Structure 1
Amino acid sequence: MTDFAQARRTMVDCQIRTNDVTEGRVVDAFLAVPREPFVPAAKQALAYLDADLPVGLPGSQRYLIQPMFLAKLVQLAGVKPTDVALDVGSATGYSAAILAQLAAKVVALESDEGLAGEAKAALAPYDNVSVTMGALASGAAASGPYDVILLQGSVEEVPLALFESLREGGRLIAVVGRGRAGRATIFVRVGSDHAGRIAFDASLQALPGFAKAPAFTF
């Protein structure tokens, strides 16, 4: 039988601490939140694997992103205890549970009905998280504005609707690009505009619905 508590400590010590994740609150969040409740029962022995973990049914399969990358993205967001956070593409809800340790309120946005149902069940112990169904690229403006928006996968571009959901000074964290060309980027809202800064390279599975519109050519 898998010792999940020991596996979680090993994940933090060998995958997270060794990859420049030094913020104490972030490390503590990953130590506190068990990952196995957010993983299909048949795959729970793999819950702490150093890799993207597929969840959902074939045809609508999504991924819990590699713990190391998730930790680095969460650290980049600089989540404060008073923040309201939007977790875009939350899948079964693990990332939202991590954010719940750091923020005052978390909205977990999911477009897949089956995954949203699993997230609601797994997130029941977290009273500062709500699960919302909707198109990922449209965001969840009704529950905003947000201090932090975190995208759980790579995107070709970030839609304006998400930037508009940020509070003044709010941060949006996304891996922009495809495959190994992805760049973890932090965007900050300044007035009606936003500014971005690339933080590190990251290769994540793509989120659906964020492809660039085809460019017009003669």
Structure 2
Amino acid sequence: MTEQNFRAMRRAMVESQLRTNDVNDPEIIEAILAEPRENYLPPERRDAAYIDRAVPLIAGRALNPPLATARLIAAAAPRAGERVLLIGSATGYAAALLARLGCDVVAVEEEASLAAHAKAQLADWAGITLVTGPLAQGAKKDGPYDILFVDGAVEELGDTLIDQLKVDGRAVFARADRGVTRLCVGTRTAGGFGARAFVDSEAVPLPGFAKPKSFTF
């Protein structure tokens, strides 16, 4: 597969998957067209870079479907200069897109081999800080943040991450509920945090966000 082939596939993905599903912001489209998603996959899986499904990586993890990541970015409406806490950075694709949009990104990944791939891939990027550690803990010392961006699905988004947002900060994530995942957007206010689902979408599950099991007799 040549670079020209990948560029054509990237353009086709934008036209057939993203623009037809409310991802039309010119800056977001430009960032996606400029960033080679295939570089964030193992060589044997690069041909699948632009399919509308999650692509397996290692250790049970996968790269989020391109539509899910793009719609979360669109919902977050990032502005240049904003500080983003990215949870589940995997091999670094979403971090690169957010950096292309002018954000200062702190990207958290707990799987060491994925974090190593991201470090190598993003070595020349300014404005991206990579943190290896539990996803659910975030990166409090580098906060607070304007945006909490969870690039995957969680059963429960805990206060540990919400508390790292500024007041009026935005959060985007996918909520997993009985086999269905819904993309959500929310805002932290002085009185708490509220979020709403805006579309059902496939999204990859992230470790460490399961709801506590309720006790039954």
TM over 0.5: yes
Q: Displacement of 1:147 after TM fit? A: 0.7
Residue 94 of structure 1: CA displacement? 0.5
- One-letter amino acid matched to 2:32: F
2:84 matched residue in structure 1? 85
Q: Distance in 1 between matches of 2:137 and 2:164?
A: 10
Task: Name the residue aligned to 2:97.
Answer: 98
Moved over 3 A (4+): none
User: SS at the partner of 2:120?
Assistant: helix
Report the secondary structure of 1:130's partner residue.
strand
Percent of residue pairs bearing the same amino acid type: 39
Summarize the alignment of residues 118-197 of structure 1 with structure 2, pairs less than 5 Å apart.
118-178=117-177, 180-197=179-196
Q: Paired residue for 1:36, among 35, 38, 56?
A: 38
Distance in structure 1 (CA, Å) of the matches to 2:178 and 2:85: 24
Could you tell me which amino acid in structure 2 is paired with residue 49 of structure 1?
I
| Distance (Å, rounded) in 2 between the aligned partners of 1:153 and 1:40 | 19
C-alpha distance in 2 between matches for 1:39 and 1:173: 24
Range 43-52 or range 107-116, more displaced: 43-52
- Aligned equivalents of 2:194 and 2:99: distance in 1? 26
Pair 1:217–1:137, CA change in 2 (3 A): same
1:180 Cα offset (Å): 4.6
Q: Does 1:201 align with 2:203?
A: no
Counterpart of 1:164 in structure 2: which amino acid? D
The offset of 1:183, in angstroms, is 1.8
* Matched pairs, number: 215
Q: Deviations over 1:32-58 (max 9, x none)?
A: 1111111101111221122101112xx
Counterpart contact for 1:180–1:203, Cα < 8 Å: no
Q: TM-score, normalised by structure 1?
A: 0.94
- What is the rounded CA distance, in whole Å, between the counterparts of 2:191 and 2:124 in structure 1? 37
Contact kept? 1:179, 1:205, Cα under 8 Å: no
Residue 179 of structure 1 and its aligned partner are, at CA, apart by 6.3
CA RMSD, 1 decimal: 1.4
Cα deviation, residue 143, structure 1: 1.0
- Measure the CA separation in 2 of the matches of 1:130 and 1:5: 28
Alpha-carbon distance between aligned partners in 2 of 1:103 and 1:195, rounded to the nearest angstrom = 26
What do the CA deviations read for 1:80-133 (whole angstroms, capped 9, x no partner)?
A: 112111110111011111111124311110001111000000112321111100
Distance 1:107 1:179, change over 3 A: farther
The amino acid that maps onto 2:35 is V
Structure 1 residue 29 displacement after superposition? 1.1
SS of the equivalent of 1:11 reads helix
SS at match of 2:183: strand
Q: Unaligned regions of 5+ residues in structure 1, if any?
A: none
Given the superposition, is the C-alpha separation of residues 33 and 201 from structure 1 closer, same or farther in structure 2, using an over 3 Å criterion?
A: same
Question: Which deviates more, 177-186 or 144-153?
Answer: 177-186
Q: More displaced, 75-84 or 122-131?
A: 122-131
* Equivalent residues of 1:147, 1:170 under 8 A apart: yes
Aligned in 2, Cα 1:91/1:190: closer, same or farther, shift over 3 Å?
same
Q: Give TM-score scaled by structure 2 length.
A: 0.94
Segments of 5+ residues of structure 2 without an aligned counterpart are none
